A and B are shown apart, each in its own frame.
Chain A
Amino acid sequence: MSPHEMDDDELTPEEHALFAALPREREPGRLLEERTVRALRERGVLHAPAAETRRGLRFPAAWVSGAMAAGIALFLGGLATGQYMGARHAAEMVNAVQRQDAQNTALLVQQTGTAYVQALSRLSQVSDTTRGSSQGGEVARQMLRQAASEVVRISPNDPVASGILAAFDRARTGPATTPRDSAGRQSVVWF
């Protein structure tokens, strides 16, 4: 090999292109950085950044007091707002339950009333000469009277309910229309 030969040795354009296409950088594993940092810390060359962070968290006393006061105020404000919102929410819930309860009660009255009427219808189908039929009629009237009393409590000026009650009063003060036993006691069978 002569110096002249070495000087003439140049890469061809294709070889240049091949070398140019090679990657110039490559990331080693992430652990290598941590390994290296740890080794340098052990040698005392590096100081852990956590110590710097702690140093950086030193605040003036006035700032700390202000921050604490602001924090307490924020907490109390939040508490009051929460209580107000909670109370308002509770009231809305009670109203909703009451509204729901009224609807349910009306539905129950309707169902019970239907059952009452159906029972009376069945009673009319039973022989009208039996003692049971007589007792059923008495029970029906008592129920009707109590129902009218409740309606009057709900609507004192309701003419229908008031009329029913007046009719019951007139019947009681007039000739006995209800069956009584030999001792004069009213026989009512509750079921």
Chain B
Amino acid sequence: MRSQTAPATDQALAEALLQRGDERAFRDLYARHTPRLFQVVLRVVGGAEHDAEDVVQEAWIRATEKLGGFRWEAAFSTWLTGIALNVARGLLRKRGRWVEMDDAPEPWRPPANDGDRIDLERAIALLPAGYRTVLVLHDVEGYRHEEIGEMLGIAPGTSKSQLFNARRSLRQALEPAKGRTHEPA
């Protein structure tokens, strides 16, 4: 019976990268984490693939620069996602599409009622960036409000209120025949 070598851990690959600049180790890390990271970022930036690729590239560059300071108390993927979210937030802010999060609801108009239902992916992309980010992290990726708060630099309560507003807006977008107005809570 052939023995199989266990895949190297994230930490072992990161050490090889740090100590020897091991490109193969980096490529292994990249292959392991990028598909999920790219999907998260793509949703956060609203579906623009070119923007998502720019964000992912910059996230990897920043992650390798900060890798020596990572203490491995959290999962590497969570830490990497946090870096990518900061890069994405910078990009959206530069384009005037990011409003600093607080408990107040963001101004939002549901998509025009053309009689057709829109799918979930499209509805998420139409949400304001802050709502979208929290909803993607919580309802799609399964992060807790505490983790989201750490990643985005906000209080867990703010994450919770953002999610509440995001879900309400999403329901409006998905059911255009029902309520068409977005009333601040």
Residues of A near any B CB (own CB < 8 A): 1, 5-6, 9, 11, 18-19, 22-29, 32-33, 35-37, 39-41, 43-49
Residues on the A chain within 8 Å of B36, using CB? 24-25
Nearest residue (CB) in B for A9 is B164
Most buried by B among A18, A44, A49: A18
Q: What is the predominant secondary structure among interface residues of chain B facing chain A?
A: helix
Contact in complex: A33, B22 (CB < 8 Å): no
Interface residue ranges of B5-56 to A (CB < 8 Å):
17, 20-24, 26-27, 30-31, 34-36, 38-39, 42, 49, 52-53, 56
> Could you list some 30 contacts between A and B, CB below 8 A?
A1-B161, A5-B164, A5-B185, A6-B160, A6-B164, A18-B120, A19-B140, A24-B36, A24-B39, A24-B140, A25-B36, A25-B38, A26-B35, A26-B39, A28-B38, A28-B52, A28-B56, A32-B56, A33-B34, A35-B57, A37-B23, A41-B23, A43-B61, A43-B65, A44-B21, A45-B17, A45-B65, A46-B22, A47-B22, A49-B24
- Determine how close the nearest CB of chain B comes to the CB of A178; give it in whole angstroms: 98
| 20 other A-B residue contacts (CB within 8 Å) besides A1-B164, A44-B21, A48-B23 | A1-B105, A1-B165, A6-B161, A9-B167, A19-B120, A22-B120, A24-B140, A28-B49, A32-B53, A32-B56, A33-B31, A35-B57, A36-B56, A36-B57, A37-B23, A37-B27, A39-B61, A40-B64, A46-B23, A49-B23
Question: Given A19-B120, A27-B35, do A46 and B21 touch, yes or no (CB 8 Å)?
Answer: yes
Residues on the A chain within 8 Å of B22, using CB? 46-47
Residues on the A chain within 8 Å of B21, using CB? 44-47
B139 lies within 8 A of chain A by Cβ:
yes
Residues on the B chain within 8 Å of A47, using CB? 20-23
Most buried by B among A1, A26, A47: A26
